[in-house]
Amino acid sequence: MEKRYVFGDVMIGKEELKKRVRELGAEISKDYKGESILAICVLKGAVIFMSDLIRELNIETKIDFMAVSSYGASTKSTGVVRILKDLDSNIEGENVIIVEDIIDSGLTLKYLKEYLMARNPKSLKICTLLDKPERRVAEVNADYIGFSIENKFIVGYGLDFDQLYRNLPYISYLEEE
């Protein structure tokens, strides 16, 4: 029998998201004052967050995209990371910020960080909208965190379940019916 899911409450509203993204943009701009960054969006979940975030930066900003997968059509990570789309840019000597939607087990981000560090960036930091520390399996920490959240399956503001719910302007969660 197929599992069915229902929406939980709104965890983080639209205005709270806007406010925190503005704060993150100010923090990153302060940390990189007088320098430029390359923001790497981890597709598809981080695209809405990154779009809002880069508009809050007042430093030179280039962007690129990567697509990685460890979920498929499931609510649990498989632990196997696949790169579906690699960067178009050479990151050697660049200040790189990986922009991620959520850090859960940390396996995907740990792999991605090691993969990108091998390309000799000047610096590499992680900015995540959501951090789920109680689920962490791999040793990885974000430099910029929007919100720390409890262990729920999150949807909205770019995060999906089987490609649905990315368009919600707030963060909610799914639970089994």
Q: What is the pLDDT of residue 71?
A: 55
What are the residue boundaries of the structural domains of the chain, listed by start?
A: 19-148
* Residue segments in the chain with a per-residue pLDDT below the cut of 50: 74-75
Task: Return the closest-CA partner of residue 170 out of 49, 55, 48, 10.
Answer: 10
At residue 104, what is the residue type? D
- Cα–Cα distances (Å) from 101 to 3, 72, 111, 131, 154, in that order, read 25, 16, 16, 9, 10
The CATH class that applies to domain 19-148 reads alpha beta
Reply yes or no on whether 104 is catalytic.
Answer: yes
Q: What is the pLDDT of residue 4?
A: 84
From the candidates 101, 104, 131, 160, which is the catalytic residue? 104
